Amino acid sequence: MNSIKLKLMIIYVSVVLVVMILSGTYMIYSVRNEEINRVRSRLSSHADIVADEIVHQYDPTQFWQAPEWGILAAYNIESMILSDIGIPMAPQPFVALLGAQRINDEAVLLAIGMEEGFTTRSRAIDTNRVTQTWIAYARPVSVGATTFIVYTRVSADALNESMSRLMFHLVIMVLIAVVITAILWFFLANTITNPIVTMIDRAKAMAEGELSQEIPVHGKDEIGQLAYNFNHMAKELSQLDTMRKEFVANVSHELRTPLTSIRTYTETLLEGALEDPQTATRFLTIVDDEAQRMSLLVSDLLELSRLDSARSKLDQDVLDLVGLLRVTIRQSQILAEQKNQTIQFETPVDACFILGNSPRVNQVISNILSNAIKYSPEDTTISVSVETTDTDHRVYIKDEGVGIPEDSISRIFERFYRVDKGRSRAMGGTGLGLAIAKEIIEEHGGNIYASSTPGEGTTMVLRFNRYFEAAVDSEKD
């Protein structure tokens, strides 16, 4: 039973069948009880007539001669007057049939004990000496000091036949309901199973590499939400696959360029350039630069891989953000001085503490400062400032460089993306620095973004969560 449609149909039909059986059982039980109560009421009324019209009106020796017996016989109810120990006294046919034999069914025994008795399971012979099941009623009637028992009964065959017919009709109804339910569910189940089957087919196609899959979304129920999430997953996987292909292409391109240079200059040296010391030195210097560039690229790729895999949690301590900025600015000052640039730091009045990993935060700030120095012309100023809000500290690093076009702002944190590919490669960049910075900042729970005006410069904003000493100390306690 591999089909979910078949499973759902069996479950649904089983539920309907159980409900119908329970409902039918309750109905039969209720109808039978009502019918038994109605019969008991008739037997009780009949017994009242016997008691009032015969027992209280005639002498015991004349009970059998009472003309009322003929009238009572027309109701298909057999009536008797018994002695206080259950021996028939009237009418004459039962006296002749049973003689001195006691009637000792449950109803009579209760009446002998001076209680009203009723039973639906009395087994006795009728006037034709045929044994059958009776519904019987008996109650004691006292006349002076003498007690008699009025006994009435009716055959249970009519009730049993009526219940059998009712049960037969209910069984037919249940079978019809089950068949109709199965047919309807077989077609209605398509609304559930068809989207699932479609998802299975699309998932198989995705497993085979066809990631551009989409399922029509009908409604907002669970199936609709599943289809929507499937489409979202397919879209994300497609984007990831595109990014993977672009990543491989970019890595191949970035490696091919220096390898081509190394191979070209190496072949030239082998062909005789080694004999010219000046040319050999220049070529070997180029080969060394390209090798260093490849080494830097591999280091950045390994760094990104570590950040992506998140194998290890960063060791974080309470850091003085202002002090860390001072150290990083001092480290970058040499590069700035080579271009006669000035780094201005607007020291905040209040201390700024964050929770982070000192080398990683230093790496991010150093990368942003390095870019600001690289892409700003000589004799310019790079401004560094800190702004504090209720929840975070924001570091602003503003340069006076060429700026970034508006359509490139949202892409500068992508891997291998360069605004000016030729110039960036010439300056020794790998196109991975900002991507690494973004990963590190987000690993600290912050974020990084940029604003820029072409021709006026770029401002990079690093947002770090504030460190609240009281809150952290209470968590440690």
How would residue 474 be classed by pLDDT, with cut points 50, 70 and 90?
very low
Those residues whose C-beta lies under 8 Å from the C-beta of residue 76, and which sit 6 or more positions away, are 154
In this structure, the answer to whether residues 124 and 246 fall within a common structural domain is no
Question: Would you say how long the chain is, in residues?
Answer: 477
**Distant-in-sequence, close-in-space partners of 163: CB < 8 Å, separation ≥ 6:** 28, 31, 32, 35
Q: What is the pLDDT of residue 252?
A: 72
- Chain CA centroid to CA 281, Å: 68
- Using CA atoms, how far apart are residues 148 and 83, in angstroms rounded to an integer? 5
Residue 414 above 60 pLDDT? yes
| Amino acid 473: pLDDT | 47
Residue 257 sits in which domain range?
Answer: 222-309
Q: Which pLDDT belongs to residue 148?
A: 93
Name residues whose C-beta falls within 8 Å of residue 279's C-beta, 6 or more positions apart in sequence. 273
Cα gap 307→288, rounded to integer Å: 29
Reported as a single tens digit per residue, the pLDDT across 336-373 is 998 999 999 998 878 899 999 888 898 889 889 988 99
- The predicted structure's pLDDT at residue 475: 41
Mean pLDDT, rounded, of the chain: 82
Q: Reduce the DSSP state of residue 451 to 3 states and report it.
A: strand
- The answer to whether residue 174 is domain-embedded is no
What pLDDT band is residue 250 in, cutting at 50, 70 and 90? low
Which pLDDT score is estimated for 383? 94
Reading the block at residue 310, the tokens are 């998140």
pLDDT computed for residue 279 by the predictor: 79
Instruction: Kindly list the distances between the CA atom of residue 344 and the CA atoms of 351, 375, 399, 454, in Å, as whole numbers in the listed order.
Output: 18, 17, 10, 22
205 assigned to some structural domain? no
CATH code of 257's domain: 1.10.287.130
DSSP notation for 337-388? HHTT-EEEEE--SS--EEEE-HHHHHHHHHHHHHHHHHTS-SS-EEEEEEEE
Write the DSSP symbol of residue 467.
P
Q: Per-residue pLDDT averaged across 280-296, rounded?
A: 77
Same domain, yes or no, for 245 and 295? yes
pLDDT for res 387: 92
Write down the pLDDT at residue 139: 92
Query: Considering the domain boundaries, does residue 280 fall inside one?
Result: yes
Structure token pair of residue 9: 């149909």
Which CATH number characterizes residue 127's domain?
A: 3.30.450.20
The pLDDT value recorded for residue 322 is 92
Give the DSSP letter of residue 51. I
**Looking at residue 1, what is its pLDDT?**
46
Report the phi/psi class of residue 144: left, alpha or beta, with left for phi > 0 and alpha for psi in -120 to 50. left
**Secondary element (H or E) of residue 29:** helix 4-50
Burial zone of 182 (CB within 10 Å; 0-12 exposed, 13-18 middle, 19+ buried): middle
Same-domain check for residues 353 and 267:
no
Residue 236 pLDDT: 82
Residues 137 and 280 in one domain: no
Residues 285 and 332 occupy one common structural domain: no
Give the domain-ending residue among 246, 279, 309: 309
Note the pLDDT of residue 462: 94
pLDDT tens by residue, 196-245: 778 788 888 877 777 777 777 777 777 778 888 888 888 888 877 777 77
Q: Where are the beta strands (DSSP E) in 11-94?
A: 78-82, 88-90
Percent share of the chain, pLDDT over 70: 89
Can you count the helices (H) and strands (E) in the chain? Answer: 14, 12
Query: Picking from 45-49, 126-130, 183-187, which range would have the lowest pLDDT averaged per residue?
Result: 126-130
Q: Are residues 299 and 331 in the same domain?
A: no
Based on the fold, state whether residues 322 and 471 are members of the same structural domain.
yes
Q: What is the mean pLDDT of residues 178-192?
A: 79
At residue 298, the pLDDT reads 74
Q: Do 330 and 253 fall within a single domain?
A: no
Token pair in block for residue 406: 């508006």
pTM over 0.75: no
Please write the tens of the pLDDT for every residue from 416-470.
777 765 555 555 566 777 888 888 888 888 999 999 988 889 999 999 999 876 4
The backbone region for 114, taken as left when phi is positive above 0, alpha when psi lies in -120 to 50, beta otherwise, is left
Higher pLDDT residue, 363 or 300? 363
pLDDT at 472: 44
- The CATH number for 356's domain is 3.30.565.10
- Low-confidence winner among 23-37, 118-132, 152-166 (lowest mean pLDDT): 118-132
The reply to whether 193 falls in a domain is: no
**Domain shared by 350 and 465, yes or no:** yes
Number of domains in the chain: 3
pLDDT at residue number 149:
93
Cα angle 66, 71, 77; round to 5: 105
CA distance linking residue 79 with residue 63, whole number of Å: 12
pLDDT of 70 higher than 80: no
Q: Across-strand partners of 122?
A: 134
